[in-house]
Structure 1
Amino acid sequence: MTVPDSRTRWLRGVRAPGAKARLVCFPHAGGGAVSFHDWATLTPPEIEVVSVQYPGRQDRLAEPCATTMEELADAITTALLHELADDLPLALFGHSMGSAVAYEVARRLEGVPGRTLTRLIVSGRPRPRVPHEQPPCPAPTDSEILDRVRILDPDGADVYDHPDLRPLIMPSLRADFGLLAAYRPTRLHRLGVPVTACGGDRDPACAVADLSSWSDVTTEGLDVRVFEGNHFYLNPWKRELVGFIASHLV
């Protein structure tokens, strides 16, 4: 039997009748929901996988990108509350920029009547910095962004040198990096759910020691899982990562 896709403006996934939990996935800067297109095939039937599609990319290319974290997190939270009508318990997973977005959405979802948030899972990024720890930065230039991308994703960065593709994908990358440069929550909100932090042992953006910083945003404990690899360790270790996440949800 073919199970139909679930597709809304903000959310993409595969329906899982009888699921007991839903995993909502948040992509990295410049990324889209397609980053998680096959995760549903790697999870047990008790888990439904939904991916967030940020505006300004892929099939939402004509829409303006979010300019602030507040704008993005508010819109995603609204989508989760209105486009997913049931009360299936939610866990949030974010990679890189997606970790910060997932954290902000988790803050907004806590305490919403009829919605149960069970866990925040973050990857490839330290916890958010407040202004006195790290003041907001100017938005990086395109050359600075591309230099950073080549460090983080040496295997995939060539796409930005393609003369036909670069004008299509650079605007969302530029917007996301600018959003992150300005993002500094006024204070850290301690979530009342456990947090799991994952990362690569050779990630130039997030040292293994930085993963423990997420203990500052939970009252319910942090566990850490380190994989072999760089910032995009989750590509070669996809099956293992998804299995590890699933073990926390069912």
Structure 2
Amino acid sequence: MDDPMTLVLTALPGSGGAAQPALVCFPPAGAGASFYRRLAPRLTGPEEAPTSPVEGLTSPVAGQLFSTVWAVQYPGRESRLREPHTLTCAERSGEATAAIRAQLSSAPGVVLLGHSFGARVAFDTALQLRAEGFPVAGLIVSGCAAQVPAPGHRRHPDPHMSTAEALLTWVRELGGLPADLLACDELLALTAAALRADLIAAEAPASPADAVLDVPLLLLSADDDPLVPPAAMDDWAARTTAGSIRLDLHGGHHALLHDGSWLLATASWLDELTAGGGVCPAGGRRP
């Protein structure tokens, strides 16, 4: 029987320099670990940046960013399909924390990356890891407002009342459904169930609204994101005592999959963390 902790973290393809930190990615609502699969080789990368852009990205990779790349697998999907969905961020971050401690204890630090709903789970996980003294080098937050919107100000369908069709229509409009999934009714039904559970969990964060990390933040916003306008991410700067840097991407809600400029910025950010002992310039911003 598989160790439960080995099911929580999925190792993604590629490996980089052994001295680099490991990266742990947290998927957006409705998605599984495979959401990050095509990004993984870009995140470890060759020692020298390629002379031409990597397919699907507008900027090349800048060297070896991370030693290994892992993605959190939430229950109820992909390799954990037989498990029931969990409905709080506390359950998601609790098992992610335990899995990271169990499987990455020998890594020279970890960086957490959370996109959309995944950013809430990643933030809560970072809080728990730091409380236990685990070396979290940084947190990358993409496409997620710092504060949980009140029910009357949601930018997504009500997960308690909406039909599966309404949930799928919403996520399809955000560009979050792969073309091959659209042709399979069974996969669409599974995606709708996962999406509903994730949106319910997003309304129940594990940490209080004023919780503050001691970890540097790299904030990724997108100029054409209908779900999280760039200004909605401003409050993240107050959620850390270690400084933050903002990077504006071009595209919609899933811009991190298409605008590779953040990969180059991450290389510089990691260099700054190393040179500055893990502290970023406060409130920095890069175009």
What is the TM-score of this pair, normalised by structure 1?
A: 0.84
Going from structure 1 to structure 2, the CA distance change for 1:132 and 1:59 (only over 3 Å counts) comes to closer
Displacement, 1:215?
Answer: 1.2
Structure-1 separation of matches of 2:268 and 2:70 = 17
Structure 1 CA distance for aligned equivalents of residues 23 and 141 of structure 2:
12
Q: Distance in 2 between matches of 1:46 and 1:173?
A: 31
The one-letter code matched in structure 1 to 2:172 is R
Following superposition, the deviation at residue 107 of structure 1 comes to 0.7
Map of 2:229 onto structure 1? 207
Which ranges of structure 2 fall in alignment gaps of 5 or more residues?
Answer: 45-62, 272-287
Q: Which aligned pairs between 1:119-134 and structure 2 lie closer than 5 A? A: 119-129=138-148
Shift of the 24–229 alpha-carbon distance from structure 1 to 2, 3 Å rule, reads: same
Quick one: structure 1 residues 160 and 184, their matched pair in 2 at CA, closer, same or farther if it must change by over 3 Å? Answer: farther
Aligned residues: 241
The alpha carbon displacement at 1:35 in A equals: 1.6
Match of 2:118 among 77, 92, 98: 98
**Cα distance between partner residues in 2 of 1:243 and 1:69:** 30
Asked whether the equivalents of residues 160 and 169 of structure 1 are also in contact (C-alpha less than 8 Å), the reply is: no
- Judged with a 3 Å threshold, the aligned counterparts in structure 2 of structure 1 residues 230 and 140 are, in CA distance, closer, same or farther, namely farther
User: Do 2:22 and 2:107's aligned partners in 1 also have CA atoms closer than 8 Å?
Assistant: no
Alignment root-mean-square deviation, CA: 2.8
Q: Structure 1: which 5+ residue stretches go unaligned? A: 1-6
Name the SS for the 1:120 alignment partner: strand
Cα deviation for residue 224 of structure 1 reads: 0.7
**Equivalent residue for 1:139, pick from 160, 164, 169:** 160
With over 3 angstroms needed to count, the CA separation of the structure-2 counterparts of 1:38 and 1:190, relative to structure 1, is same
Between the aligned partners of 1:112 and 1:236, the Cα distance in structure 2 is: 35
Give the Å deviation of 1:184.
7.2
Counterpart position of 1:247: 268
Aligned residue in 2 for 1:152: 174
Say whether 1:89 aligns with 2:87.
no
CA distance in 2, matches of 1:157, 1:146: 13
1:186-208: CA deviation from partner (whole Å, max 9, x where unpaired): 33211112111102101011111
Structure 1 residue 56 corresponds to structure 2 residue 88: no
1:75 maps onto 2:95 in alignment: yes
Q: Take 2:18 and 2:227, find their aligned partners in 1: how far apart are those partners?
A: 38
Q: Distance in 2 between matches of 1:78 and 1:112?
A: 11
Q: Does 1:39 align with 2:39?
A: yes
| Conservation of the 8 A alpha-carbon contact between 1:129 and 1:185 | no
Number of the residue aligned with 1:4: none
Query: Contact 2:117 / 2:202 at 8 angstroms: preserved in 1?
Result: yes
Letter in 2 for 1:28: P
Q: Equivalents in 2 of 1:246, 1:38: separation in Å?
A: 19
- TM-score under structure 2 length normalisation: 0.74
| Structure 2 residue identity aligned to 1:33 | A
What amino acid is aligned across from residue 9 of structure 1 in structure 2? L
**Aligned partner letter, 1:112:** E
Which range moves more in the overlay, 121-130 or 103-112? Answer: 121-130
Change (3 A) 1:126 1:148: same
Q: Which amino acid aligns with 1:187?
A: A
Counterpart secondary structure, 1:164:
helix
Alignment identity in percent? 31
Measured in 1, the distance between the counterparts of 2:28 and 2:159 equals 20
